[in-house]
A and B are shown apart, each in its own frame.
Chain A
Amino acid sequence: MDFFSSLQELHAGLLKREATASELADLSLQRIASLDDRVHAFLHVSADCVAAAKETETVIGQERILDGIPYALKDNMCTRGIETTCASHILKGYIPPYSATVAERLNDAGAVLMGKLNMDEFAMGSSTENSGFFPTRNPWNLERVPGGSSGGAAAAVAAGMVPFALGSDTGGSIRQPAAFCGVVGLKPSYGLVSRFGLVAFASSLDQIGPLTHTVEDAAIVLQAIAGKDERDSTSANIQAPDYRAALTGDVRGLRIGIASEYFGPSVEIGVRNAVTKAIALLEQLGATVSPISLPHTEYALSAYYLIAPAEASSNLARYDGVRYGVRAVDAGNLLDMYEKTRSTGFGSEVKRRILIGTYALSSGYYDDYYKRAQQVRTLIRQDFLDAFESVDVIVSPTAPTTAFRLGEKVHDPLTMYLSDICTIPVNLAGLPAISVPCGVIDGLPVGLQMIGRMFDEQTLLRVAHAYEQAAGMAPLRPALAMGVKA
């Protein structure tokens, strides 16, 4: 048993007493100890995780799959009593007085928190190089980025340090790192998972979701975290259905749409081939494939880079050094304190986006930028509604490339932004989408993205699971993780 086993297998092992929960926590600690000095996925490892695991040992029951299962959280989800930094210097030392709803729900389900995971600062980035502390490396190739912003989460799961992790996805931040690291990453429909306790980047786009080795594991974790939360006014008032029951393996008659807009010239040939093969496999399984059009896709990136920074400029204004986090020590007056605290506390990408967002909302520019971007957003949402008249799921590459080298794009923000070209429209429309591995090129995984109808995670998971079973690829195990003694 290791953390490439499925959650169901780990659960069965615990039930049969082949291992105890504290042994699983120990195993996770060992994996972190032996690998993380190279991968740098964790920002913080929980000191009392083994004790917490021990507590679950008496209660493990048939129906409680997550009892005693170790996991980790991206460091933008609040954990009571445990430092939560969003990988930013400005929140260094910040210990939240409360836990995010997702952390509470996983705790209630018996899962054991191992620690907090690295990310691009405030989730702004696509490579985890924007972490204020250090970059995370891709377990498949340590010279490559794990993607971002949930790079720590993807790398920790890919390297087998934890069997699952939660990330957050504002423009692709779960799916793109999942693709780069060869794991499954699910962004649920906006409103399905509570954002309470998720440190906001762009409130109308942010959504929490699982990173796992298999689609079934993603369904299990989603089941535990989905559903109405009275503390989040944007959480949808719907009862989460039984997601695992949807995994029938049967996609006969299912209609798959292929949008040419997602296969533009920026998509590398290897990625294109892997995705094409995956589509062919789905067809063999009985799905029908037809071309669709999402005509406003080309405006998605521009709209996103106005809306997300606009919201961020407001969401991040509270980091002023007054109440928590870091305060500049040598300030002469209030304004000086704000300026010094924020100038030294935030990294350059965060500052760039705050500036863009502030500009977009400014008097005289609002109509041309923020308002126009919202209009584009409506058109993009309409594109998807139109497409879903004739298809059930839309399939595309998750990212146009495989994992790029550290430093390759970090000084070229516009090229970096293009890594999210296939994922961003989905956030603008609020739809659910999943990335599953569909191949390995030159030792680097490729991700297949599937996009579903609003709140139709069941169909989405059914297709992803059927593909995964037929492709026989999961779980993908990087070389780094093979030589490690468990």
Chain B
Amino acid sequence: MTALETVIGLEVHVELGTKTKIFCSCAVEFGAPPNSHVCPVCLGSPGALPVLNEQALALGIRAALALNCSVPAQSKFDRKNYFYPDSPKAYQISQYDEPIGQHGFIEIAVGGEKKRIGITRVHLEEDAGKLNHSPYGDVSFVDLNRVGIPLIEIVSEPDIRSAEEARLYLEEIRSIMQYCLVSECRMEEGSLRCDANISLRPVGQREFGTKTEIKNMNSFRNVQRGLEYEQERQTGILARGENIAQQTLRWDEATGTTLVMRSKEDAHDYRYFPDPDLPRIVLSAAYIDARRDEIPELPAQMRERFEREYGLPAYDAGVLTASRGLAEYFDQTAQRVRDPKSASNWIMGELLAYLKAAMLEIDEIHVTPFALADLIRLIEDGTISAKIAKTLLKDMLDSGKDAKTLIAEQGLIQISDEGELRAIALRVLAANPKTVDDYRAGKEKALGSLVGQMMKETRGKANPQIVNRVILELIAGGE
């Protein structure tokens, strides 16, 4: 059988981080009591009219520009008509043939190689409500808090070739949106959602195979799992010489399979037409430029700069740019220390472990990049040992005090005075003749024990490099 190539395109919905809904002034709040953030406009009360939230437009344009889209001077809103209780007007205000952004792309790193994924379009729309079906199957409860929350839909070109690439693409989209302060992109809260189209074709064939659409993949892991499953399933069907049915599928996390939602014959005719309640969107060049100026340095650029400017390994640059907060934290720390790699080590090691354990975000901790840089500089100039620095950082995180204050309070300045250390070392060697003999007999480990004793004597304040040297010199001299 000929080798098959997987072709994937993603439709990603991102909730825009506005305070209020896209066409009314109801608050946007996740987890509020059902139907507590509704008004005549988002309820679709007879006679109520939409008014565009300018912040939603601004964030949408910013997002489109960050995804390298061209933003036309004019676009418009259309109505997408369908009957369902999640849609109180029985139409969704969306954009059909004149979206706010087109012809964009982002880059992902696949196996160390850069790959460009095209973005067909970015359009603005309102979210629908949420239905909660009674477990008894007799009724459904409608919560319209989510109706009218502003969304952008980002439609990719069919440039994605594996489930892993799909996950990488999605992670990059999330990262860009977070960096631009467009959205927090919390998949678990639904502020980032992803549907996928997937098909297979023989390698070398130009035409696409019959595709299926997968919905309900509500985590990064599930996106990859769902696509891997579907790829396997389609491969099996084609291997048996059968045809793929064009269907919309639902990923079922519990069983790890895709289930049929509807087939092609049930496809809606949405009867799109321009929404007569909303004037065309007309943007000046100055307005678009202002949105472009709001875009910060993006994760890809930052990764590159960290490698170039600070000499970080690609792995470190990747970890440190996972969020804009973390990247900026590192950037500010690294600028203030002699060895940026040490800043990377401290942040990726101690700090991230602390954040994970305490379930905190980088901007929620007491230790500023300046304070961390101070701490690292104290190690670099030999004032404290790395070991003490570890303890100190923990104290800093807990107390909010800076390193110098804590050192003064606890008398933790490192002992680097060779004379003083030599005196202590003589005592330690005298008290442990057997260990000294062991070392002389070739047991390397015995040295560690002697250093340990030194540290114990000095409550960890002894400069470890000097201690090592002094002990070796004394042992050698005693022969």
- Total number of B residues with any Cβ neighbor in A under 8 Å: 28
User: How far apart are the CA atoms of A72 and B36 in the complex, in Å?
Assistant: 34
Interface residues of B in 172-215 (CB under 8 A from A): none
Question: Is residue B44 contacting chain A, with contact meaning CB distance below 8 A?
Answer: yes
Stretch at the interface among A241-249, A281-289, A313-321, A469-477: A313-321
Top 6 A-B pairs ranked by shortest CB distance?
Answer: A317-B90, A204-B276, A361-B271, A203-B276, A199-B46, A197-B47
Candidate in B46, B50, B85, B91 with the most chain A CB atoms within 10 angstroms: B46
Residues of A within 8 A of B45 (CB): 78, 96-98, 324
Instruction: Name B82's closest neighbour in chain A (CB-CB).
Output: A317
Please pick, from B47, B79, B272, the residue contacting A198 in the complex, using a CB distance under 8 A.
B47
Instruction: Name A325's closest neighbour in chain B (CB-CB).
Output: B46
Residues of A within 8 A of B311 (CB): none
1/0 per residue, CB under 8 A from A, across B386-418: the answer is 000000000000000000000000000000000
Question: Is residue B352 contacting chain A, with contact meaning CB distance below 8 A?
Answer: no
Question: Is residue A310 contacting chain B, with contact meaning CB distance below 8 A?
Answer: yes
Question: Is residue A133 contacting chain B, with contact meaning CB distance below 8 A?
Answer: no
A361 touches B273 (CB 8 A): yes
Please pick, from A96, A97, A324, A362, the residue contacting B271 in the complex, using a CB distance under 8 A.
A362
A317-B81, A366-B273 given; A230·B47 CB < 8 A: no
Can you give 11 contacting A-B residue pairs, CB < 8 Å? A78-B46, A96-B46, A97-B40, A233-B49, A233-B277, A234-B276, A314-B81, A317-B83, A318-B44, A362-B269, A370-B273
Question: Is residue A94 contacting chain B, with contact meaning CB distance below 8 A?
Answer: yes
B50 touches A84 (CB 8 A): no
B85 touches A232 (CB 8 A): no
Question: Is residue A239 contacting chain B, with contact meaning CB distance below 8 A?
Answer: no
Residues of B within 8 A of A311 (CB): 273, 276
Question: Is residue A358 contacting chain B, with contact meaning CB distance below 8 A?
Answer: yes
Q: Is the interface of A mostly helix, strand, loop or mixed?
A: loop
B278 touches A233 (CB 8 A): yes
B47 touches A338 (CB 8 A): no
B85 touches A84 (CB 8 A): no
A318 touches B90 (CB 8 A): yes
1/0 per residue, CB under 8 A from B, across A394-430: the answer is 0000000000000000000000000000000000000
Interface size class on chain A is 35 or more
CB contacts between A and B, total, < 8 Å:
100
Residues of A within 8 A of B81 (CB): 313-314, 317, 361
Please pick, from B47, B50, B79, B91, the residue contacting A199 in the complex, using a CB distance under 8 A.
B47
A100 touches B79 (CB 8 A): no
- Measured CB to CB, the closest approach of chain A to B320, in angstroms, equals 45
User: How far apart are the CA atoms of A362 and B271 in the complex, in Å?
Assistant: 5
- Measured CB to CB, the closest approach of chain A to B261, in angstroms, equals 16
- Measured CB to CB, the closest approach of chain A to B134, in angstroms, equals 13
Residues of A within 8 A of B277 (CB): 200, 203, 233-234
B83 touches A196 (CB 8 A): no
Question: Is residue A187 contacting chain B, with contact meaning CB distance below 8 A?
Answer: no
Question: Is residue B448 contacting chain A, with contact meaning CB distance below 8 A?
Answer: no
Please pick, from B47, B52, B88, B142, the residue contacting A200 in the complex, using a CB distance under 8 A.
B47
Question: Is residue A334 contacting chain B, with contact meaning CB distance below 8 A?
Answer: yes
Question: Is residue B382 contacting chain A, with contact meaning CB distance below 8 A?
Answer: no
A98-B40, A203-B277, A317-B90 given; A231·B47 CB < 8 A: no
